[in-house]
Amino acid sequence: MSKKDVPNEKRRSFLKGATFAGAAALAAPNDAAAQVQAPARNAVPLPNKAAETAPPPALEPLTVGRSGSDFMIDVIKSLNFEYMAANPASSFRGLHESLINYGGNTNPEFLTCSHEEISVAMGHGYFKIENRPLCIFAHGSVGLQHATMALYNAWCDKVPVYMVIGNIADATMRRPGVEWNHTVQDAAAIVRDYVKWDDYPASLQHFAESSVRAYKIMMTPPHGSVVIVADATMLGRPDPRARQALDPEAAAGRPAARRFRCGGGNRAPAGASRASRHHRRPLRPHADRLEAARRARRGAAMRRDRHQRQAQHSVAPSAQPERPRPRQRRPGRLHPRPRDERLLEFAQFIQGRCPADLPPHRQA
């Protein structure tokens, strides 16, 4: 083999080095352009140890002490529901919080559902098996719209479902955005044709009375569903029991506020005095005011009637109008004479008028 046929090692090394150098020369401008074009990343701030360890800033609390939702949960507990099914929502967030933290999540126990129709369907099946109603929470108008088909099925099957929905009637209390879209004036109007009863309480006392009344109507055959609209503004109101307990007048002598109970739990003890029996309903100030106004109207009417009677008796006898005398009946009408006596009198009358020269058959 001649030297011409053997490849030159130096030439091969030169070509190899030139190839690598050209590739590196071409790649260098691209890398530089990439470094220039890539935006600089913001440096991640280091954790603020003071912000993590220091106490949080003071925020404005929504409620102080006992809230109205605690009172409403006590009312619902008095109805002896074992479970409560709901799709969590903002319109009844106060009831949700009170049921978990204040009520201990027992009687009723919260069952999380992904849809309102599922919640009502669970209540339908639960009553068919256990013969006990189920409590349902729903979110305003849209949650009730989701539950309409299941409520219609319960109406067809005569199954009671106890539903509490949230709403915000006061426009000044609605948060901007979704609460305006999900709030209506008459929340239960969409299901009123196939539920047995519905109500929109305006106060906590009204909610207590309507809740017990709704349960009685629901469980009276024929069974049917009921809807109670719980306004969100009532959830954050102070508990009336706590307000009465903090009242200095209550501590001075009035009886302490009792817990709401179903079935006459607020009755006065047997040995209580008559004065204390007037306060056996400390949780119904509105009803007490209505009863006081009703008694005042009744007393005014009685006094007005008494004055009118006294004015009539004080009139002089000559000024009093004479009463019409009763008509006297003739004795003949009540005691008719015998028929023979009347015929004889008629014959004597005819003989007196007829002349004597007439034939006998004409005289008669």
Confidence (pLDDT) at 264: 41
Residues in Cβ contact with 122 at an 8 Å cutoff, skipping those fewer than 6 apart: 85, 111, 113, 134
Residue 178 has pLDDT above 90, yes or no: no
Residue 165 has pLDDT above 60, yes or no: yes
Confidence (pLDDT) at 191: 95
Region of 91 on the Ramachandran plot (φ > 0 left; ψ -120 to 50 alpha; else beta): alpha
* Residue 136, strand partner residues: 85, 163
Residue 10 has pLDDT above 50, yes or no: yes
Confidence (pLDDT) at 41: 59
* First and final C-alpha spacing in the chain: 196
Q: 71, 46 in Cβ contact below 8 A?
A: no
| CA-wise closest residue to 148 among 132, 136, 130 | 136
pLDDT one-digit tens code per residue, 297-338 = 888 888 888 888 887 766 555 555 666 666 665 555 555 556
pLDDT one-digit tens code per residue, 29-56 = 555 444 555 555 556 667 777 777 777 7
Q: Across residues 143-167, what is the average pLDDT?
A: 95
Confidence (pLDDT) at 268: 45
Q: In the chain, what are the domains?
A: 68-235 (3.40.50.970)
Task: Please report which confidence band the pLDDT of residue 59 belongs to, taking 50, 70 and 90 as the band edges.
Answer: low
SS3 per residue for the chain: CCCCCCCCHHHHHHHHHHHHHHHHHHHHHHHHHHHHHCCCCCCCCCCCHHHHHCCCCCCCCCCCCCEHHHHHHHHHHHCCCCEEEECCCCCCHHHHHHHHHHCCCCCCEEEECCCHHHHHHHHHHHHHHHCCCCEEEECHHHHHHHHHHHHHHHHHCCCCCEEEEEECCCHHHCCCCHHHHCCCCCHHHHHHHHCCEEECCCCHHHHHHHHHHHHHHHHCCCCCCEEEEEEHHHHCCECHHHHHHCCHHHHHCCCCCCCCCCCCCCCCCCCCCHHHHCCCCCCCHHHHHHHHHHHHHHHHHHHHHHHHHHHHHCCCHHHCCCCCCCCCCCHHHHCCCCHHHHHHHHHHHHHHHCCCCCCHHHHC
Q: Which of residues 294 and 321 earns the better pLDDT score? A: 294
Confidence (pLDDT) at 345: 74
Residue 248 has pLDDT above 60, yes or no: no
Confidence (pLDDT) at 224: 95
Residue 99 has pLDDT above 70, yes or no: yes
Residue 43 in tokens: 């440096």
Total count of residues recorded for the chain = 364
Confidence (pLDDT) at 296: 85
Q: Across residues 276-293, what is the average pLDDT?
A: 58
Task: Please report which confidence band the pLDDT of residue 132 belongs to, taking 50, 70 and 90 as the band edges.
Answer: very high
d(CA 99, CA 196): 26
Q: Across residues 272-279, what is the average pLDDT?
A: 43
Task: Please report which confidence band the pLDDT of residue 233 belongs to, taking 50, 70 and 90 as the band edges.
Answer: confident
Q: Across residues 131-138, what is the average pLDDT?
A: 95
Residue 299 sits at φ, ψ, to 5 deg, of -65, -40
Mean pLDDT lowest for which of 145-149, 183-187, 224-228, 350-354? Answer: 350-354
Residue 73 has pLDDT above 90, yes or no: yes
Q: 247, 183 in Cβ contact below 8 A?
A: no
